[in-house]
Each structure stands twice: as structure tokens, then as C-alpha cells.
Structure 1
Amino acid sequence: QKRKHSEGRVEVYYNGQWGTVCDDDFSIHAAHVVCRELGYVEAKAWTASSSYGKGEGPIWLDNVYCTGREATLAACSSNGWGVTDCKHTEDVGVVCSDKRIPGFKFDNSLVNHIENLNIQVEDIRIRAILSAYRRRMPVTEGYVEVKDGKTWKQICDKHWTAKNSRVVCGMFGFPGEKTYNTKVYKMFAARKKQRYWPFSMDCTGTEAHISSCKLGPQVLLDPVKNVTCENGLPAVVSCVPGQVFSPDGPSRFRKAYKPEDRVSLQQPLVRLRGGANIGEGRVEVLKNGEWGTVCDDKWDLVSASVVCRELGFGSAKEAITGSQLGQGIGPIHLNEIECTGNEKSIIDCKFNAESQGCNHEEDAGVRCNIPAMGFQKKLRLNGGRNPYEGRVEVLVERNGSLVWGTVCGENWGIVEAMVVCRQLGLGFASNAFQETWYWHGNIYANKVVMSGVKCSGTELSLAHCRQDEDVACPQGAVQYGAGVACSETAPDLVLNAEIVQQSTYLEDRPMFMLQCAMEENCLSASAAQTNPTTGYRRLLRFSSQIHNNGQSDFRPKNGRHAWIWHDCHRHYHSMEVFTHYDLLNLNGTKVAEGHKASFCLEDTECEGDIQKNYECANFGEQGITMGCWDVYRHDIDCQWVDITDVPPGDYLFQVVINPNYEVAESDYSNNIMKCRTRYDGHRIWMYNCHIGGSFSEETEKKFEHFSGLINNQLSTR
């Protein structure tokens, strides 16, 4: 079961036949040899017991012993070719690193059942021929060319099929292929003699990559008799880009590529969450109005490619398992998915609706092929201590020429930094800097060329964000140029909505017990006029349990030197604004708010055998470890909303985590929790508590009018 191109069952070619390798005595050193022979820098792991499926044919090698320095697996010591007592249940597999040896052929040999040849494709490209396609990004139409030695060669279209085109288009980030004007290409082909690759490909159309296709028949090439490509033409592909990447906008996309019987443009049935890059993330599907995840049992490149194409990307680069892109919340909708590769949607695939034995540690994800848009070349980081940080410099057109310049750091924030890191392929932003005087960038790029940048966070490039028409940066470019630090991973905080709903109650608390709360300004303004000996405040109290479901620890933005000592709580607080607690009326106007001045972050509990790393006591390090959660109990000071002045009625209770985006997260859409609330002046009911984005828009609207209530009694302490 292949999840990446750089992993799989090891097969060797000997005496005109492919065969497998037995796992007896195999080691990581042997795996290194295999990976280097295939053009990868090193091996990450190896697997025994036919974990990538049982092979066929002979078992060529057994008891393989390598030092790791051999050039080929055949050079390692073994029992000899074909000498073995193994069965195919012992076929060995390897997991290679993604990094390639520079200049090495990047594909596995094409499986060949026709000729006893070991054909490798060094590289493949779509070369635009018509001027209309050469001028636009991305390149969607042109000759299919393969690199053979140092020469690019065309493929004869004699045996070329639409299924081959589908695979090539998928590799280059396009969900589908279409027909093209053959007359124009005949005219071009007649003008110039072509160099042909002497083979074709035989794809089924469901492959994620041409390395999974079979080698097609050899093409008759006889330049002496002037028989070239059997009088055929170079193979051409014309790919259909997804909506986001369409050069002519969304209307053209809808006409050219519309999944049958789906209103997917209005209500997508699948989405990606938690990924650093476009076309990457945890797979979530919509079922009965609620978003849920996919269990990674049987998850492979074919099924992942169906998801990618459904979302308007190409085929899958990687089928990700083990919640590597963070854990989801809510139900696990699909398990043991088995797609043929021809489905229009993941929900059309065969699957097991039962998710017994699955948990969110097994959430499946994808990395999809996306078109080359050239955005990466229009941005750079300069002056940082490593390639992941530096002053942001952008390439813009000024007076007819392209120049590099800086971005004004005024109002620059983590959302803008996220767009920069994604555009450069560097993951998530870990920090956004409004001044970078300590990073000396390129002296020829000191002029401010972009200011007033405001991003929503979903943009493909910084140039797509809103910005000033007239550049203005009064504080100057050199000192106040915007900067970023990027990271491959990020935390992801999610509030447990169920615990909020179950723990909510009212308390009438005497003023003489609220001295600390008064000092910390945790009560509404009218508390100043309340009699300190006989008066009381009505408090809406609740517990909050905040989980870190991401791939790195959540650490406060401020260092220890900026933490604030709170005498009432007897510990330091590291974040001034970590969570907002608000009571809103039904039109969204705030009627009461929590005034918790600041927060201490620590690991209260952790999953499984994960170790706690952070604690508030004894001036300890603060944060929330990935896989752990921080609990603010209902009975601690300021864990409330003062509703003394609120009249009876229907309201919305809202909790927002990390509201100012002070700390980077992989997903901000799940930082809001809302509950419907009914208050009759004596009791309060909290119901329909849920995390933002966990339901469809239609279901969300239904919640506004749902009348099921949970009774939360008033208590007096």
C-alpha cells in the first residue's frame, strides 16, 4: 500500500525478470543503498513482512548484508541470485527521504511487460508551443516531453491516449484534461523536425504519477528511411486547471470541468484543514450537515488523488497517515476507503461507515500536486540567520522594469506572515516582525514598494492581499521593513465545547469574596457602585478545556522578562489576551464580557504517555504541549462573565481562543466556540455548543432556531 512515490516494495531486475527481496538480515544500511540507487539521498526506514503487499515472480535476493557504502544492492553480500527459503509474505520495503540526489533520474523504472528493458524517465514537462499558452501561468497546454540523457524529446502520439494525458495533467496540478486543436499542432510539427523518445506509456488514467504506468510499445523510428514516429505527431496534452488556478477566472472553469451531479462550487463535500501549503491538509468530509475526518486504514495514493481532483488540484503527491497534519474534532465519517481512481468524489468510493478501532490519531491527509504559478520567484527573505527567516523583499514592476523592495512593517501581523511563508513553501509563520533593523537585507532592495498590506490568510501570494495604492511608510524602510520567521509545524488550539455546555451555572457571589476580582478588573463597570459588604454579583461560570491538536507546542509570544506576576493567583501570567468570553444578543452585539486580565498556560493533562512540559507554579515554563490540554476550572477567579446587568432573554455565548492571533496556529477557523443561551432572570440554559466550522452553513442556521435545552441551575455560594 503505497503512500508516497519515495516508498514501496523493493523489486530488482535480473535475468530479464523483476523479483522481490526477502526481509531476512535486511537493515537500514541496505535500505540506504536501495534509496541511493533510486536517486534519493538516504533511507528513513525499512519495512518487513510484505507491508507494501506481496510481490510476484521470483524472490531474487535473501540474507542481504550491506555496509551502506555499496553502489548497488547487487553489490551487497547475499545467498546469491534466486537462492532463498522465503515466501512473498517476507517481501521487504523501504521508505526513502523526499530529497533527491541532484541530477539523478527522478522516476522509478516504468514497469515493462513487453520489452526486457530497464527504462527510466529522468524528467518530464509540458512545453507550451502556441504563443497564447507561453504567455500565461500556469502552462496548461503543450508538447509532453521527457528528458533522455541531456536532451528533451517528444513522445510519439501513435499510442498516446487520453488516459496518459490525465496522468500527466494530474502530475502538473490539473484535475482534468480536454481535447485540443490538432490542426494547429500539425502545422507546427511540419515546420521543424522532432526528436522523439523511442517509447510510449500505457496508463490506466488512475495513476498518481507516470512512474506507476506501464511502459508502452516501442515506436518505430528510422530517420534513414524518413520514417519518424510512424508518420505520427508529437503527443500534446491540454489540461483543465482548477477554479483557483484558472487563468481566465472561475466561469471558464465551470464550463470546462464540472463534476457531474454535484453542486460542489456551492457546497463542497470535502475540504482540507491544517496544511501549511495550498493543496495540503487533513481530509474532512461533510455528512449529515457535520464535518468529520477520514480514518487512514487502507488510505493510499489512488484515494488521495480522488480527493485532490475533487478540490480542483491534480493527483496526490502524498497520502498522509497518522494525523501528521494535526488531529481533527468531531466524528470520523469514513474508514477503509478503497477508490478505483475514476470517482468524481471521495464519497463515491467504497468505504466502511463503521469507525470502530479508529481515533483522531489516525486522521488521513493529502498533499496534492498544484500548478506551477511562479509566485515563489516574486518573493524572498533576506538577512536572516537561516533560510526560514528574514526581511521580506518583493519583486514589483516600477516604470517598466522589475525591482526588489521591502514591505512596510506597520500593522504587519501573523496572518500576512502566513501568506509569505506559504508562498515560499516554507510552512507556517511562527513570528511576524514589524521591524527588522537587525537583519541587513539586500542594500539594493531598501526602498519600500508595498504598504498597508492586509491579508485574509487564504491568498496564494502576498500580491493578492489588499494594499495601499500609493505606497506610504512614514517610519522608513530599513528599520521598519516587515519580516517573518517560518516553521514547518504549528500548534492548533481547540476548545472542548461539550465541557463548557456541561459545566455552566450561575453563582451569586458576595462582593466581600471578590476583592481579587476587583483588583484584576474582572467585573463589569457597575461593580464599583455595588455595596462591598451586602452586595453581590451574578456570575456566569464555566470550565474551559483547551486542547493542542497541532504538530508543535503552543508557546506564549512574550518571553519570561515580560510575564506579569498576579498576587491573587500566586503565579505569573504569560499572555495578556489568550481568550475572550462574551455574551452577545442574537444580532451579535456584545451585552457582557469576561474581563480575565491575563492567563497562565500549562499542561493539565496529556494523552497516553505524552509528558507534561509546562506548569504555572514556581515560575515554570509556560505553554501547552502538543497532545495535551490546559483546563481553567469553573471555580477559579475570573473564569466567568459578570451578567448582573443583563436582562432575561435569548443570547449567544461565545469563546474565542487566541483572538488577536498573537501566536501562530495551523488553523484559526476552529478557535471560536458558540452556544445558544437562554436566561430567565434566575436560571440559565446552555445548548448547541459547537466549534466554528464544524457544521455546514445550512446546519449552522438551523442551530439558531433549535429549542432543545439543558438546564443549568442557579447556585449561591
Structure 2
Amino acid sequence: MERPLCSHLCSCLAMLALLSPLSLAQYDSWPHYPEYFQQPAPEYHQPQAPANVAKIQLRLAGQKRKHSEGRVEVYYDGQWGTVCDDDFSIHAAHVVCRELGYVEAKSWTASSSYGKGEGPIWLDNLHCTGNEATLAACTSNGWGVTDCKHTEDVGVVCSDKRIPGFKFDNSLINQIENLNIQVEDIRIRAILSTYRKRTPVMEGYVEVKEGKTWKQICDKHWTAKNSRVVCGMFGFPGERTYNTKVYKMFASRRKQRYWPFSMDCTGTEAHISSCKLGPQVSLDPMKNVTCENGLPAVVSCVPGQVFSPDGPSRFRKAYKPEQPLVRLRGGAYIGEGRVEVLKNGEWGTVCDDKWDLVSASVVCRELGFGSAKEAVTGSRLGQGIGPIHLNEIQCTGNEKSIIDCKFNAESQGCNHEEDAGVRCNTPAMGLQKKLRLNGGRNPYEGRVEVLVERNGSLVWGMVCGQNWGIVEAMVVCRQLGLGFASNAFQETWYWHGDVNSNKVVMSGVKCSGTELSLAHCRHDGEDVACPQGGVQYGAGVACSETAPDLVLNAEMVQQTTYLEDRPMFLLQCAMEENCLSASAAQTDPTTGYRRLLRFSSQIHNNGQSDFRPKNGRHAWIWHDCHRHYHSMEVFTHYDLLNLNGTKVAEGHKASFCLEDTECEGDIQKNYECANFGDQGITMGCWDMYRHDIDCQWVDITDVPPGDYLFQVVPSAKRRKKSLSTSAGS
């Protein structure tokens, strides 16, 4: 007997991976401070090109989705041109990226993926070893000798990391117009005492790093458009005026060290590497750079709502925009997620056709963040559900909202595998310093310890594990910059932390999921009350930096979910395979029934290799009742959680058949269960379990009516990840 889902679970179950507002998260701004994981970088010695090699300049152009990627363009013989993709390799990509000041190349792209360039195709059949100081030192057909067309223009994707000590080669600066800016690093340095004490830094000198030295920028050619770009990089949506008299007084008392160039931005760039170099600053007779009748450039940035001062606590404790038209879902950090737009009272997604850094920056600024770090494509931040409202978005960068941009309202040819997302620049708040994990097997797990003030001193201590859940764990993982929360632990006796922090200093923690830090969640303050007490019951978390390779199609689960009251006499095989809750053992086998939450699930292999069962065929388990083999004891966990993340019911699906049900495009199916065939899921394919298969359910007979979260976790031999935070809402 089938019943509508809402008849039992009240508000239709907060369904299918719906920790939606909880996908807001912690800060990851440019530049960031990764000292927790990284060793200091060795001193950089810039390689010297052979004297007989042509002098060139490089830039990344085209339809960018990150500032560190684009079409490779070469300035040679007074003209910008492109590079053909014939014989191009990752070694050549490394040379390009290092010549532009990036540590290395991550990949390269063929067939004008960043758009077709113009002018000559300077290099074809390029062969590099990867150790060359310049692309001009690699062998090729010769300058301008090619049979290529601009449909073969090559592009590269460089690492975000800059080379420490990198210094811009200005040997051709007087010959080239519209040359892109290349610097090792940039910062806003607070000058006035008022701003030196504030976090985040919102006003101060703009300084660039050249070699080992930080230098100011002369304000003679500085514009508000330049300020807008710099503020955007540091997580602020806009700029404002400041008190020039105070800075004049300050500058007159100190000797400045100026960068020899100026900036020329349009204001729509997401990063200064997309801005052009402006006029060169004049030099004095001693060849020291001066800034005649000028001062160091200053920016004063406007913070977004979530970072705005708000009473004695200084910053808002939770981010909740009023009646937004745009929202982000499915990200691990604040300012990151799948883009969703409200249209005709219904939330829908955005197709990634023509999605680029300019359009992504409009979304970021609209939501109160800075410019975009990345325009995410291919539903890498989770697939949405419902309609696809916008397609082929083309923004100029000056729009107040994404709905002001040009777009195609028709979404034919798009599906949720093409949902667009963003990663925005957000202010560096320094909240990571007030929280740490201790005792875990790796930096992504451990007992939660917080830094609090007690009796005038700062002390580290534990958090009471009572009522600690996945929502609180999500806030912790975000605050530490460790991504998604995969587990919340109410006991951590097996993790030995610092003996000096064994005292419980925080209890009664209750988070909504949108807080900037654990301290912003509701808690008992200094009146700590932890009835269980002791080191054993300290709260702990396990975090995961990335979303899983095996991704759930949440929309299918939503569309196929229903309730069934199934007689016990039809569930004997399911009993043998532990597919029912423990109370089923007391249910009358002839007259009793169990209430089952049933649904279809489709698991997509979004990774970089095929997924195969760990065990070979010789270790597969035969189940006589169902008359089939299991290649894995549990392939997928089905968990029903209350709104605090505590499990109230569970199910699982053993892998009696892992096969390629369907595949993308021209990908060929490799796995089929028939005739005891090989099991697995090919990269780019998906496996499907229909709702009418035995054990494809959660037994909710003992669950009272109410609102719940439904979490589907592909096991992947412990590549475990809650899709409630990655496959989105």
C-alpha cells in the first residue's frame, strides 16, 4: 500500500541532501595564509634566458574562469599573437606559468577553449623540456611558421600559488602597450591606528611585493576603478572615499619606497593580473623611483553585510540576507556554492554555457562578497533541482545583479550536470587562530579545542560533546578552512589532546549552520554545564577537503520518493540482509507490516578513475535468499537525521550489482553484472538502483512525524561524504 510522503513526515521531509543554508561557510581569501600545512618556500632565483633567445612577453587572455588561466598570448616583433596546440605539452605549460610568476601548470587546453585569438600564430609544434627560462627558448617551427588556425589556440591553467621572490621582467615595458600586471603578491597595509586594530583590514596603503620588498604604488594615476579591483580581491564588494589629509600628514613623515609602475584597471576585473600596466613612474637622477607631487595610493573598502560592524560584537554572527534574488548552495566555504536564482517564486539554477569570471564576480558582489576567484562549471559544487532559469549569461561587470546581465531564458540543451557555481573572495577574519583540532590521525580530524578568555587570560579548552551534531561540526570545519564536515563525535576519549587543555570551557553549543565561527553559535558562556563531563566526552570532528567522487543525483531521489506499508511476510529476505530496523524482529511475520521510505538513487562517477569493488570475484558473498552475489557489503548508506544531524533511522544498499547503467556522451560502458560479469562504475558513467528493488529504502516504522534530513552517503570504501553538504539542495 503506497501513501503520499507528506502523510507521515509532515512537511515533506527536509529532503534529499538538504542542509541547504548550511552550505555557507568559512573564509578563503586571496592572499591566504596556509602555514598550517606548508613549509616556508625556498628562495627563488629567477632563471636567465640565453643571450641569443628572443625577448618576449606572455599574457593569459580570453574567456577566463580563474585569473590564473587563459589563452596563451605572446608579444613578439611588436605584435601580440597566439600559440598552436599541435605538440603542446604539460612541459610547455609549466614554462608559460613560471614565466608569468606562477609556481607550476595544473593543465593545458586545446582547440581554443578560451576563445579564438587574433593576429599571428607565433609558435607551432612547440617542444619544451619544462626547464626553459622562457617559452622562446623551446624548439618550434620558427616564429610565425604554422599551418594552424585560431580554432587551435592553446590555453593553460596555472597554479594559484605565486613564485616567492618573483620579479616582473620589464625589459620590453617601453615597447608594449596594454601589458598585463605581474606581481608576486599584493596587500592592504593598515596605516592609521584605528584600522590597525580591526579585523578584517579595510583601509590602508596598497602595496605590491617585488622580490623580498613591499612597495607602495604612486597615486598620480590611481583611480576609483583600481580601488574597486583591489577591494574585490580582498573580499569587499565596493570602495569609498577616505580622509586624504590624514594620509598626507602621515606620508610627509616617512620615506616611501615606490613600485616603478602604475595600474590601469577598468573596474570590472576580478584580479589585478587582468589589469593593464599604466604609465611608468618618473625616476630621479639617482635612479631611485619617486612619485613627484604624489602620495602612496590608499584604498578604503566597503564590507558586505556579513562582515559589517554590528554593535558590541563587532560583526554579525550569522549571514541571512533579506529576500534575496540570488543565493549560493552546496559549497564548503562562505562565498562558495552553486548559483541559484529566484524567479516566479521558485528557485532554479544557472547553466554554465559562457559562464566566466566577469559574470561570476557580479554574483559575488551582489551577495556582499568581493570579486570571484573562480567561475565554477560542470556542477562541481553539486547538482541543483528544479528549473534552470538562466543560460548563456554575459555580464559587463558593472551590473548590480546577475538578473541585469544579458542572458538566454531558454535552457534547451542544458541539464543539472551543467549547473554554474562561484568561489568568491572573502575577507580574512583570522578566526582560524581561535580554534584547533588535537589528537587526530591527520590535520582534518581531532578533538575540538577553543581559545577563550578566563580570568583575564586566554586559555585553550575542550567543547562539551553533549548534543554535539553535524551542524556544529560543519561550522568548525569551515572556520578552520578544512572544507566539509563528514562526522561529528560526541566522545573523543581515543584522541589525546594537549593535557593543558583537558578542561571543558564551552558547553551547550547550538549552531544554525551559517555562523562565522563556533564562538558565534549559541552556547552557555562562562557558565559551563557538561553533565557527563570529563575528557571522554569532548566534542570532535572529521573534515573532508573535497566533495566525493561518487555523486548522488538528488533530483531523482526527490522525484521518486514515497512511503509504502509493506507486509512482513514479503520482507523475510530483507530481514536476513539487515535491511530493516531492529524492532522488526518483534513484528508479527504474518499480520505485521513495516513503513518504508522508498526512492530511486543514481550515483554518478565524477572522479578521475573507474570505481571498482575492493574485493575480487573470489571474495564476493553469495546471498541465497535473494539469489545473487554482493561485491561490497555496503555500497551506499541511507541515513535519516533530525535537524541537529542526529541519526534516527538508517538503511543501506549492498552492491549486488555495480554496473554502468548510463554514460555521458561517447563514453563506453565497461561494467555489466549479467553472467557474473565485472562490476564497477566507469568514470563519467552512473549506476542506478530503482525504488522497487529490495532493500532500496529506509525503515521508518519507529520514526515519529516531523521534519528530517535525508542523507545519502556512497561508501566508496570509506571515501565517505555527506551529500547533504555537497550535492546540495
Structure 1 and Structure 2 fold alike (TM over 0.5): yes
The equivalent residue for 1:458 is 514
Structure 2 residue matching 1:197: 3-state secondary structure: coil
* CA apart distance, 1:508: 9.7
Higher relative contact order (CA 8 A, sep 6+): 2
Q: Which residue in 2 is equivalent to 1:472? A: 529
Conservation of the 8 A alpha-carbon contact between 1:259 and 1:344: no
Distance 1:290 1:407 in 2: 40
SS in structure 1 at match of 2:231: helix
Question: The residue matched to 1:479 in structure 2 has which SS?
Answer: helix
Secondary structure of 1:8's partner? strand
Instruction: Measure how far apart 1:404 and its partner are.
Output: 2.7
CA distance in 2, matches of 1:115, 1:712: 50
Deviation at 1:199, TM superposition (A): 1.9
2:707 and 2:333 map into 1 onto residues whose CA distance is 41
In structure 2, do the counterparts of structure 1 residues 81 and 604 end up closer, same or farther at CA, with 3 Å as the change threshold?
closer
Bigger mean CA offset, 522-531 vs 490-499: 522-531
8 Å contact from structure 1 (residues 548, 624) kept in 2: yes
Deviates more, 1:104-113 or 1:17-26: 104-113
User: Deviations along 1:236-278, whole A, 9 cap, x unmatched?
Assistant: 1111111001123699999999999xxxxxx211111111111
Question: What displacement does 1:543 show?
Answer: 7.4
Unmatched runs of 5 consecutive residues or more in structure 2: 1-62, 714-719
CA contact (8 A) 1:491 1:553 kept: no
Distance 2:691 2:75 in 1: 67
Question: Structure 1: how far apart are the matches of 2:643 and 2:431?
Answer: 43
2-structure distance, mates of 1:67, 1:502: 53
Q: What does residue 621 of structure 1 align with?
A: 678
Check 1:550–1:365 CA distance in 2 against 1; reply closer, same or farther (3 A cut): farther
Deviation sequence 1:560-613 (CA, Å, 0-9, x none):
999999999899999999999999999999999999999999998887799999
Percent identity at matched positions? 94
- CA distance 1:291–1:257, shift in 2 (3 Å): closer
* Separation (CA, whole Å) in 1 of partners of 2:288 and 2:641: 81
Shift of 1:553: 13
* Secondary structure of the structure 1 residue equivalent to 2:327: strand
Deviations 1:513-562, CA, capped at 9 Å, x for gaps: 78999999999999999999999999999878899999999999999999
Aligned equivalent of 2:669: 612
Residues 636, 652 of structure 2: 8 Å contact kept? no
Would the alpha carbon gap of residues 158 and 34 (structure 1) be closer, same or farther in structure 2, given more than 3 Å must change?
same
Deviation of the 1:422 alpha carbon: 1.2
Deviates more, 1:599-608 or 1:281-290: 599-608
Among 373, 389, 392, the residue aligned to 1:336 = 392
Could you report, residue by residue, the CA deviation over 1:625-674 in whole angstroms, capped at 9, with x for unpaired residues? 99888988776789999999999999999999xxxxxxxxxxxxxxxxxx
**Alpha-carbon distance change, 385 to 546 in structure 1, aligned in 2, over 3 angstroms:** closer
- The 8 Å contact of residues 38 and 108 in structure 1, kept in 2 or not, is answered as no
Residue 219 of structure 1: CA displacement? Answer: 2.4
Deviation string 1:654-712 (CA, Å, 9 cap, x unpaired) is 999xxxxxxxxxxxxxxxxxxxxxxxxxxxxxxxxxxxxxxxxxxxxxxxxxxxxxx99
- Per the alignment, residue 581 of structure 2 pairs with 524
Change (3 A) 1:426 1:515: closer
Mean alpha-carbon deviation: is it higher for 33-42 or for 342-351? 33-42
Structure 1 residue 395: deviation in Å? 2.3
Q: Pick from 102, 109, 114 the counterpart of residue 40 of structure 1.
A: 102
Q: 1:106 to 1:337 in 2, by over 3 A?
A: farther
Could you say if the C-alpha distance between residues 437 and 356 of structure 1 is closer, same or farther in structure 2, counting changes exceeding 3 Å? same
Contact 1:390 1:485 in 2 (8 A): yes
CA 1:253 to 1:387, structure 2 compared with 1: closer, same or farther past 3 Å?
closer
SS at match of 1:196: coil
1:30-62 deviation per Cα after TM superposition (whole angstroms, max 9, x unaligned):
112222333334323222233223334443333
**Correspondence for 1:271 among 319, 327, 332:** 327
Moved more, 482-491 or 559-568: 559-568
- Residue by residue, what CA displacement relative to the aligned partner does 1:359-386 show, whole Å, maximum 9, x if unpaired? 1111111100001111122222233333
1:584–1:196 distance in 2 versus 1, CA, 3 Å: closer
Q: Is the 8 A contact 1:506 1:714 kept in 2?
A: no
3-state SS of 2:328 partner:
strand
Higher mean alpha-carbon deviation, 128-137 vs 192-201, is at 192-201
**How far apart are the structure 2 equivalents of 1:204 and 1:410?**
53
For residues 715 and 340 of structure 1, what CA distance do their matches in structure 2 show? 34
For 1:714, the equivalent position in structure 2 comes to 723
Report the Cα offset of residue 407 of structure 1: 2.4
Question: If the length of structure 1 is used for normalisation, what is the TM-score?
Answer: 0.71
Cα distance in structure 2, aligned partners of 1:347 and 1:507: 43
2:359 is paired with a residue whose SS is: helix
Q: Do the aligned residues in 2 keep the contact of 1:491 with 1:626 (CA within 8 Å)?
A: no
Aligned in 2, Cα 1:184/1:499: closer, same or farther, shift over 3 Å? closer
Moved more, 127-136 or 380-389: 380-389
Check the 8 A contact 2:306/2:319 in 1, yes or no: no
Unaligned runs of 5+ in 1: 261-266, 657-710
1:30–1:73 contact (8 Å) kept in structure 2? yes
Q: Secondary structure at the match of 2:653?
A: coil
Moved more, 614-623 or 326-335: 614-623
Kept in 2: contact 1:437–1:479 (CA 8 A):
yes
Shift of 1:487: 1.2
The equivalent residue for 1:591 is 648
| Cα distance per residue 1:290-343 (max 9 Å; x no partner) | 111111111110000000000100000011111111111111111111100000
- Note the aligned Cα RMSD (angstroms): 7.2
1:195-227 CA distance string (max 9 Å, x none): 222321111100001111111112234387999
Query: Does structure 1 conserve the Cα–Cα contact (< 8 Å) formed by 2:385 and 2:554?
Result: no
Residues 441 and 15 (structure 1 numbering): CA distance in 2 closer, same or farther, change over 3 Å?
farther
Report how far residue 98 of structure 1 moved: 3.3
In the alignment, is the contact (CA less than 8 A) between 1:107 and 1:122 conserved in 2? no
SS state at 2:530 partner: coil
CA distance in 2 between partners of 1:647 and 1:150 (Å): 64
Instruction: Report the number of matched residues.
Output: 656
In structure 2, the CA distance between the partners of 1:248 and 1:199, relative to structure 1 (3 Å rule), is farther
Shift of 1:76: 1.7
Distance 1:83 1:597 in 2: 60
Give, in whole Å, the separation in 2 of the partners of 1:393 and 1:584: 26
Structure 2 distance, partners of 1:530, 1:118, is: 73
Q: Report if the CA contact (8 A) 1:492-1:550 is conserved.
A: yes
Is residue 325–residue 551 contact of structure 1 (8 Å, CA) maintained in 2? no
Q: Is the CA contact (8 Å cut-off) linking 1:110 and 1:214 kept in structure 2?
A: no
C-alpha contact 2:162 2:184 (8 A) present in aligned 1: no
1:25–1:546 Cα change, 3 Å: closer
CA distance 1:588–1:96, change in 2 (3 Å): closer
Larger mean CA deviation between 13-22 and 192-201 belongs to 13-22
Distance 2:283 2:220 in 1: 12
Relative distance call for 1:585 and 1:361 in structure 2 (3 A) is closer
Pair 1:211-2:273 in alignment: yes
Give the equivalent residue in structure 2 for 1:689: none
CA positional deviation for 1:124: 1.2
Kindly indicate whether the alpha-carbon contact (under 8 Å) linking 2:317 and 2:516 is maintained by their aligned counterparts in 1.
no
Q: 1:175: Cα distance to partner?
A: 0.6
The 1-side partners of 2:723 and 2:421 are apart by 45
Alpha-carbon offset, residue 415 of structure 1: 1.7
- For the pair 1:323 / 2:379, whether they are aligned, the reply is yes
Q: Which moved more, 1:386-395 or 1:361-370?
A: 386-395
**Kept after mapping to 1: 8 A contact 2:562/2:599:** yes
Range that drifts further, 548-557 or 8-17: 548-557
| Alignment TM-score, normalising by the size of structure 2 | 0.70
Alpha-carbon distance change, 562 to 242 in structure 1, aligned in 2, over 3 angstroms: farther
